[in-house]
Amino acid sequence: MGKTVMVTGASRGLGRSIAYELADAGYDLWLTYQSSDAKALEVKEEVESKGVKCRLMKFDICDREKCASVISEALQDETPWGLVNNAGITDDGLFIRMKADQFDRVVDTGLKGLFNVTQPIVSAMLKKKQGRVINMSSVVGIMGNPGQFNYAAAKAGMIGATKSLAKEVARRNILVNCIAPGYIATEMTEGLNVEAIAKSIPLQRLGDPKNIADMVQFLLGKGGDYITGQVISINGGLC
């Protein structure tokens, strides 16, 4: 295929599943992670076993200087076809008791991190007059959720950012979309009352990471070439 896709937060959860799916489809990968070298190397080995190239990029997406340094070095070699902004964190708590650092950490990761990664990549895409950007929001950014004021704010902000950027870069053949997953069975749902959650979902079950990865692949491919500025919900009918 010869196309490269950058996936942030790719050492676990949705990011890892997306990386595996894209490797199966023949995409070369740039995979970012923040801390676990062992998990990142495990993903790299699995990806490369599928016959594609994989570049690991270790940095905190909230650190603008480090982010710019690592990405600019990679851009000297090539411009990726796609960017999947998947990295995100939760730090839940009722609004009235939420600490300022809880809010800052979650919103900074979701929005400042989005800005830090996307700006240099899109700048390079503009010169090539092509590219796809996929931002991973959440059903929580659409419908809200008690105890997730910070997370909802970050994910709702991502939706607005997606729509704005899509309008700015469409004339250069760069498509920008947002996926809003519902409850997906990953590390982020471990420890939750899955049975109770499933009862609130019309399909009566959690989603599989592959449901999300398949949509990412679709949006990066030929089928997604007339879709931009959209929020695609994958949530089992939750909202």
Question: Strand, coil or helix: what is 65?
Answer: helix
Cβ distance 111 to 157 under 8 Å? Answer: yes
List Cβ<8 Å contacts ≥24 apart for 87-90: 87/8, 87/9, 87/15, 87/32, 87/34, 87/61, 87/113, 88/9, 88/136, 88/138, 88/154, 88/155, 90/148, 90/151, 90/188
- Write out the two tokens for 239: 């909202």
Residues annotated as catalytic (active site), given as ranges: 151
Which single residue is written with the structure tokens 């760069």? Answer: 174
